Structure 1
Amino acid sequence: MEYKLVSINVGKARRELYKNKEIATGIYKKPIEEEVFVSTVQIGGDQQADLVNHGGKDQAICAYPFEHLEYWEKTLQQSFTVGAFGENFTIQGLNEENAHIGDIFEIGDVRIQISNPRKPCYKLGNRYKVDELPLLVQQTGYTGFYFRVLKEGFIKPGQNLRLIERKEENPTVAYINKVIYQDEENVQALKNLVEVKELSERWRNSFQNKVEKLLN
């Protein structure tokens, strides 16, 4: 099964104002047209400003479903084009409902694996001057998700993501979003997520901490 990679987007970190304070952000991404190298931590030419919450080996590539952009344009009456959510990959056909944690794909020389949902932050709202946008993203479940890189290599626009292993026994991104935003006191659900070995270590640790707090 293949999914269309509509666009590969990269961008350097920049500084802007947020509530009269200067912040660094890497949310501004633009499409590229040339071949690029993908390492275990990022796509060549890309940069993350907040290395605590973005980037790293479990979050090397941020992906967002192309189909969601029309929804946001109609809802917020603004233009949302590829890269609008700070994503590196704008993908058609693969979304939170059918993306399982641990699913493995190939694109060009590169092999990637879904690692965790994308958690929207205030910088997204600041970009579009819509403070409630992160909350709206949570409520809709249109969060996007991250890939870790299992095999480095080169990719280029026009190539598609080819599914080579689907982890149907693992939760979907949509399920995890539902737990953390609508059912965050469900101890058994949280315990189950802790056991998903393909889920990023930071997310599993976070769920374990929530379990311990709920049981104490």
Structure 2
Amino acid sequence: MRSNKAIELKNFSIGLPQKMTYGDGQEMETGICKQPVAEAFLTKEGFKGDGVADLRYHGGPDRAVCVYPHEHYLFWEEEFSRPLPASAFGENLTVTNMLEKDVCIGDIFQLGEAIIQVTQGRIPCSTINKRTDNPVLLKRIVQTGFTGYLCRVLEEGAVRSDSHIRLLESHPKQVSILEGNDLYFHRPKEIEGIQRLLAVEELADEWKKLMKERLQKLTSLH
């Protein structure tokens, strides 16, 4: 984490999966439509009262908290000339001064009474397009690396909409979320980059597994 500016929690939202109507009246069950709350208790599995519809790709201890930078809202709204709803990306925390280029895997933050640790970039899915009624948003998120990211919970505790967030510990390896995203999506054959990512012990287990498999295939070719 390289930014020293104060972090501001702009929006704090949770929500259980519900039916969402999109397109020309189609329906799907999703946890993306979060609602602002004043307070929620954060457990190792996530916020009480929060949930996901598809457990294969969302949720679990390595993905207990979803964070999205507030600055990107302005970027997307300018690009597409349309406003976005609050927590448009299904994030729990919409924050300032915590961009993907500045936040590193393994960084530890105080969040209200809880302590969280960054584990991986968010892998966005097509639900984002349906939620925002924008067929190209997912593609642009992947291109820019403006995905947001996920965290595990090191210490459980209450979080409020006016809670302070501050960096407690910067990870010494300094592998940013943006770099991780770049390797995941755009540089899947870069051996050195993958090794640098795998050197971060705190990386989410699922990413470790995937990156180890990639590395094995790449090194067996040499």
What TM-score bracket applies, with the shorter chain setting the length? over 0.9
Q: Secondary structure at the match of 1:46?
A: coil
Asked whether 1:204 is paired with 2:208, we answer: yes
Quote the residue 1:29 is aligned against: 34
Quote the residue 1:121 is aligned against: 125
Q: Secondary structure at the match of 2:46?
A: coil
Gaps of 5+ in 2: none
Pairwise CA distance, 1:159: 1.3
Gaps of 5+ in 1: none
Amino acid in the other structure paired with 1:29: K
Percent identity between the two aligned chains: 32
Segment drifting more, 141-150 vs 188-197: 188-197
Quote the residue 1:109 is aligned against: 113
The superposition leaves residues 97-153 of structure 1 with CA deviations (integer Å, 9 ceiling, x where unpaired) of 110111111122100000100011011111122222211101111110011100011
The superposition leaves residues 26-65 of structure 1 with CA deviations (integer Å, 9 ceiling, x where unpaired) of 11112112x2110011112211111111111000000000
TM-score (norm 1): 0.93
User: 2:175, 2:196 within 8 Å by CA — same for their partners in 1?
Assistant: no
- State the number of aligned residues: 215
TM-align CA RMSD: 1.8
Q: Secondary structure at the match of 1:147?
A: strand
Pairwise CA distance, 1:194: 2.0
Pairwise CA distance, 1:17: 5.8
Within 5 Å, which residues of 2 pair with 1:1-216?
2-16=6-20, 22-33=27-38, 35-214=39-218, 215-216=220-221
User: 1:10, 1:46 within 8 Å by CA — same for their partners in 2?
Assistant: yes
Amino acid in the other structure paired with 1:32: V
User: 2:22, 2:133 within 8 Å by CA — same for their partners in 1?
Assistant: no
Pairwise CA distance, 1:24: 2.0
Query: How many Å separate the matches in 2 of 1:176 and 1:196?
Result: 11
TM-score (norm 2): 0.90
Query: How many Å separate the matches in 2 of 1:111 and 1:137?
Result: 28
User: 1:70, 1:80 within 8 Å by CA — same for their partners in 2?
Assistant: no
